[in-house]
Structure 1
Amino acid sequence: MSLKEFKIGWFATILGTGGVAIASLPYFPVLSVVLTYLLTAIFVILTAVWLAKIIRYPRVVAAELGHFVMGNFYPLQPISAVILAILYRKLGIPLDLPLLAYGAGLILVLTVYLSYHFFANVKAEIHHIHGGWFIPPVSTILVTDALLQYSPNETFFVTSLIYFGIGLMLFLFISTILFLRLVNHELPVFELAPTNFILLAPIGILIVDFTLIAKHAEAIFSANLVPLALIASISLWGFGLWALAVNILLLLRYLRQEMPFFLGWWSYVFPTAAYTLSTIALSHFVPVFSYAATALYAFLIAAWAIIGVRTVGIAIRGA
């Protein structure tokens, strides 16, 4: 694979593996530590290659950023930084704030730019819409999650709500459009099939955000929002269960049509990780969710292992 052909989608490996690392903390904390250091090395390498491509082929990068498919995946790089910041914070590695500041800043810039660009410069038909459009809102609500990892303080809390508002509304808009696209048009081609699964990512992260917002609101404003947050979170978890079941059925349909393996399969991993993490978060309030969390964690590990091994094969072959 040449520098010019390097795909921003490689950063999805960090999202998926990072999700596994965070989800493993209550089960196998040693695995979380090992994966964090491995992800740090991968992030440095991929970012160096990405920057080299920007410098060497700026027109190619500009064309990708403006493309109605590829452009939505460019936030994967700063999302990777935010995921590492969350891991560093949880493990006590004092590099979290610089990574969070970088990731949050670039995420905001890309979210605003991509929205403007698609409004002003791209004439997209409804059948062009795909699950990858969820990545910008996923990036903003993940910043909310990261900011609320810290001790309650008003500045971080207000900032987290600003990012939360952006992501929540974009999620609602895009999910409505995507539903209409799936109902009224043929299913996406193989290359975009895994992006349907990304719907689980904002669902999972929003659930975690609801619980964290309630906790911080109580500490800062003395407002007991936990019952309301749990009602919203459990209801949203039910929607996620529906989305998981439907998307597994869609995946089986694609597999019967002999869908080949490619890098986009990581879109099955990081949304599953997000939904698993939301279930773990709910289990702290409603113990019965611990059984679902364990089952989802096992499913996540299996998917991550299978896709990870096949991705290593792609990397070795230079495909």
Structure 2
Amino acid sequence: MTSTVFIPRKPFSQLSAPREVIRQFTPNWFAVTMGTGILSLLLAQLPVPIPGLYRLAEALWVLNIGLFITFSFLYIARWVLFFDEARRVFGHSTVSMFFGTIPMGLATIINGLLLFGLPRWGDGVIPIAETLWWIDVVMSVACGVLIPFMMFTRQQHSIDQMTAVWLLPVVAAEVAAVSGGLLVPHLAQTHAQFSVLIASYVLWGFSVPVAFSILTILLLRMALHKLPHESMAASSWLALGPISTGALGLMVLGADSSSVLAANGLPGVGEIAAGLGLIGGIILWGVGVWWLLMAVLITLRYLRDGIPFNLGWWGFTFPLGVFALTTLKLGVVLNLGFFVVMGTVLVGCLAGLWSLIMSRTLAGAYRGTLFVSPCIAKLHCATL
């Protein structure tokens, strides 16, 4: 017997009123922009001569901009129309972590501006990208400090309830660091290059050591309390994010360090940064392989009993995408076909995952079932 999926004729049929879309809107939705953005960047850099692939990647980037603007409008509207309920997010031990997805989603748009916007519109996009990057930096630093501060002072946490979502507010800074490294060679002034490069290294240090501290605690939690609830199944992939981004950041920042630091009175330091970046990137990539294999095994374990669909499924996409991007980068730098082949396979897996998750997201959004804010439930939230 085959089953069919019932799609109601009217949108938001599962909501009591259309305005519930705004009232129930949460930062979790920005994870969609992260997954869509990383796929667009990967398709454009895939070393496979497929006709129309670059145009498809560019179209996904434009779609991502539209999604980011739409989500921003909806979330701002929630704060304007439902302020008392919206501010409860700071007391929620899970939803508040997703504030980190906002600057990370913006970072994929900035990277796309350099990859797609520059050849289409010329150097005029560079000042826009630089301005957006500094905005992204401020948002990332704020998430990396204020959300953990809320964890320490207002929220209720326990080691047995911990998941990898703790990483989200912290990792945003290292994603901004990678974007800064990509921006550096496009800046005209040497002082601006130097400022962005140093700021990016600071952002890397601001994020990666803290992320690895969280990963250490996560390993202990998994050993003592086993796997989290199946609704958090995708969170097992989030650990791959900071490892891969950390590796990519070291390589990207090291690539232009030699010329930038030499132009600012620090000759010789750049060569060291480039060498350490490559070696550090390879080592962290190896750590990422361990987490990738572990995430696959954990997901297979979850699949035995079924994984309920929710927005958390987008947690499968961005970490896998960054790992694929790092793998392809190593293939280019080391000129080893193994990394190119593996990266290409990972991109194919990501494209399949994105298609599946996006189709279910569109269906859930149309019905209204994905517009659920746990922060409205008094049992789960604390007010400021």
TM-score normalized with structure 2 length: 0.80
* Deviation (angstroms), 1:220: 2.4
Structure 2: runs of 5+ lacking an equivalent: 1-14, 47-52, 186-192, 262-267, 370-384
Aligned residues with identical type, % of pairs: 24
SS for the counterpart of 1:25 is helix
Could you say which residue in structure 2 is the equivalent of 1:302? Answer: 352
Could you say which residue in structure 2 is the equivalent of 1:238? Answer: 286
Higher relative contact order (CA 8 A, sep 6+): 2
Could you say which residue in structure 1 is the equivalent of 2:153? Answer: 120
User: Following the alignment from structure 2 to structure 1, what is the Cα–Cα distance between the partners of residues 341 and 64?
Assistant: 29
* Deviation (angstroms), 1:108: 1.2
Could you say which residue in structure 2 is the equivalent of 1:105? Answer: 138
User: Following the alignment from structure 2 to structure 1, what is the Cα–Cα distance between the partners of residues 332 and 38?
Assistant: 18
Could you say which residue in structure 2 is the equivalent of 1:154? Answer: 194
Whether the 8 Å contact between 1:82 and 1:104 is mirrored in structure 2 is no
* Deviation (angstroms), 1:191: 2.0
1:1-319 equivalences in 2 (<5 Å): 1=15, 2=20, 3-27=22-46, 28-91=53-116, 92=118, 94=125, 95-152=128-185, 153-221=193-261, 222=268, 223-225=270-272, 226-286=274-334, 287-288=336-337, 289-319=339-369
Post-superposition Cα deviations, 1:267-300, rounded to whole Å, max 9, x if no partner, equal 0011111111111111111223111111111111
User: Following the alignment from structure 2 to structure 1, what is the Cα–Cα distance between the partners of residues 97 and 316?
Assistant: 17
Report how many aligned residue pairs link the two structures.
319
Whether the 8 Å contact between 1:65 and 1:74 is mirrored in structure 2 is no
* Deviation (angstroms), 1:61: 2.2
Post-superposition Cα deviations, 1:119-160, rounded to whole Å, max 9, x if no partner, equal 223342112221111112220001101111123521001111
User: Following the alignment from structure 2 to structure 1, what is the Cα–Cα distance between the partners of residues 170 and 150?
Assistant: 16
**Match for 2:29: what amino acid?**
W
TM-score normalized with structure 1 length: 0.95
Whether the 8 Å contact between 1:84 and 1:99 is mirrored in structure 2 is no
Whether the 8 Å contact between 2:251 and 2:281 is mirrored in structure 1 is yes
Question: What root-mean-square deviation, in Å, do the aligned CA atoms of Structure 1 and Structure 2 show?
Answer: 1.5
User: Following the alignment from structure 2 to structure 1, what is the Cα–Cα distance between the partners of residues 138 and 36?
Assistant: 23
User: Following the alignment from structure 1 to structure 2, what is the Cα–Cα distance between the partners of residues 254 and 24?
Assistant: 29
Structure of higher CA gyration radius: 2
User: Following the alignment from structure 2 to structure 1, what is the Cα–Cα distance between the partners of residues 233 and 220?
Assistant: 16
The list of structure 1 runs, each at least 4 consecutive aligned residues, that deviate by more than 4 angstroms after superposition, is none
Structure 1: runs of 5+ lacking an equivalent: none
**Match for 2:54: what amino acid?**
P
